[in-house]
Chain A
Amino acid sequence: MDDTLAVELEEVSYTYAGAPAVHGVTLRIKSGDFTAIVGPNGSGKSTLVKVILGLIKPDSGSVRVFGTDIERFRDWHRIGYVPQVSTGIHAMFPITVGEVVAHGRYTGFSPFDFWSRKNGADVDSVLRAVDMMDFKRRRIGELSTGQQQRALIARALIRKPDLLVMDEPIAGVDAQGGEEVYMLLRQLRESGVTILIISHDVGAVMREACTVACINCTLLCHCPPHELTEDDLVRLYGFPVEVLHHGVHHDHHAHGEDAPRHDGFDRLAHR
């Protein structure tokens, strides 16, 4: 067991409807790292995240979170999860943004919650952080997908997690909203939170993440973004791609790396 590891997967495989969704994945994510999982649609990214969170049980292999086997893991307050909400939340669900965020404080059975009108300063604080304070009393199902996404991010943040897992957090969010989400993630990373994110926004994750895990049923590579080659991306997406590198800046102090870092792959396209 390595205490510096937030997530450890060892030869994890999962089969769905007779076809392997994830096969033989071994992945280690260090505490404090910002790791992005990228891959084409149906490549097993969301399945892998569900396995990590214990939502589905792998057919084989082991999963440890903060050194504990996920089946015996009880420190759920250390994990914040933002699911994909691209399909939206049912408009008729009578629950306000404030209530959804307050639910994020859950740490265990609390029999008098129903009678408590506590909707404290911590709710307001995280809502302000995601610029959703004006929507606190609005029904979450009536908001846009991007606003719902930000509400769920606030719900995850209120838990003050050590590990934040996000499944396509900027799906449905406009460019400015997406940039605000990444700014928030930068701040969280600076405060030591381990971040695991699934994203199709390759350019942004190359710019923001410490490491990138390329998944297409198997783990094709797991490395810092600057080590990722075009060949890796071709193997990942299955077609030749053109990657444009823009700007170089240095910000790997937290990981003791001196190598300059590319500002990102601003464009990923068919050649």
Chain B
Amino acid sequence: MPTAKTPPATTGSTGSRTADPMPAILQYEFMVRALIGGVLVGALAPVLGTFLVLRRFSLLSDTLAHVALFGVAVGFAVNVYPTLTTFIAVTIAAVVMELLRSRGRLPGDAVLAVALYSSLAAAVVVISAAQGFNVDLLSFLFGSILTITELDLWLLAGLAFFVVVGVTAFFTELAQTSFDDALARVSGIKVDWVNLGLAVLAAATITLAMRIMGVLLVGALIVIPVLVGQGVTNSLRTAIIVSSIVGIISTVTGLALAFYRDIPGGGAIVLVAVAMLVLSIAWRRFRRRSS
């Protein structure tokens, strides 16, 4: 991003350049938007990821991300706001997969594999039938901090509200369903509805997170911070909070690295998260040995 990164010249009354106390990264609107979006995505993705990982359904996010690619391709092909077509495609896929899994029509991993490959194949066909790859489509594939719009931020903020309210209000139901769905059912919890709600929220999160992370890497932000959180605490509540904090640190640090080192944002974010996972594992081992 060399051209976009050239800072605006700040001149004083004498016309000479003065030092601006604000860090360079905050002097650009696109970076401020990326950071706000990054904080929201970093906080949200692991919250939902916690319940997916606990159900051993980690690859759902990766599968839905590939479905998202199909949604993006359709959006470009029919000239409709791609986030909208993506959200529709991912939500339908999430609900169908959940129904297939819960009714035992197919094993969970088989459902994911079928959805992943079929959506990827459909995306390739749609892209080929349209104009082929272009810069915008690539930005969805790998993420781009330059393309985050104000509308994206408003959508993210709205989603953040729903996720926080949804997860905190239905925390007991989500926790019990993840722990043992038979126990949850015998406690009177409507497990099928809880699972569907989680699938829809995961679909919305992936749709919006991929603007920053890219289709290929969005799953990492949903899974890796969760593994850090699960490793360092025994309590589910605390694990969710720790995972969110790790997600935020990963996105902010990753975006800063992307800005200053001129590297892809999605990749930088994931590498920071992986580094934190390695550190957390090392810390856990150290703590075990010393106790």
Contacts and interface: CB of A to CB of B under 8 A. Distances in A.
Interface of A: 50, 53-55, 74, 76-77, 79, 81, 83, 89-90, 92-96, 99-100, 103-104, 106-115, 137-139, 152, 155, 165
A103 B179 contact: yes
Interface string B149-188: 0000000000000000001111111011001101101111
A103 B186 contact: no
B173 A109 contact: yes
5 contacts: A55-B186, A81-B182, A96-B235, A99-B236, A106-B189
B118 to A, nearest CB: 27
Given A94-B236, A114-B237, A76 B179 contact: no
A104 B236 CA distance: 16
Contact of B179 (A50, A93, A111, A113): A93
A210 B231 CA distance: 46
Given A55-B186, A106-B188, A94 B230 contact: yes
Interface of B: 54, 56, 167-173, 175-176, 179-180, 182-183, 185-189, 229-231, 233-239
A92 B230 contact: yes
Most buried by B among A55, A81, A89, A93: A93
A90 B230 CA distance: 12
A79 B186 contact: yes
Given A90-B56, A111-B168, 10 more contacts: A55-B182, A94-B234, A94-B236, A94-B238, A100-B179, A106-B172, A108-B188, A109-B169, A111-B170, A114-B171
A115 B164 CA distance: 12
Given A95-B235, A106-B176, A113-B172, A81 B186 contact: yes
Most buried by A among B229, B231, B235: B235
Contact of A111 (B169, B189, B233): B169
| Interface residue SS majority, chain B | helix
A138 B234 contact: yes
Given A55-B185, A74-B188, A83-B180, A94 B239 contact: yes
A107 B188 contact: yes
Nearest to B233: A94
Contacts of B169: 109, 111-112, 114
A6 to B, nearest CB: 15
B159 to A, nearest CB: 18
Contacts of B168: 111, 114-115
A95 B171 contact: no
Nearest to B53: A92
Contacts of A111: 168-170
Contacts of B237: 114
A15 B117 CA distance: 33
Contacts of B235: 94-96, 99
A77 B189 CA distance: 11
A115 B231 CA distance: 22
Interchain residue pairs A-B with the least CB separation, the first 5: A76-B188, A114-B171, A111-B169, A94-B239, A114-B168
B267 to A, nearest CB: 26
A83 B54 contact: no
Contacts of B231: 92
Contacts of A54: 185-186
A95 B236 contact: yes
B246 to A, nearest CB: 14
B187 A93 contact: no
Contacts of A115: 168
Nearest to A165: B186
Contacts of B182: 50, 53, 55, 81, 83
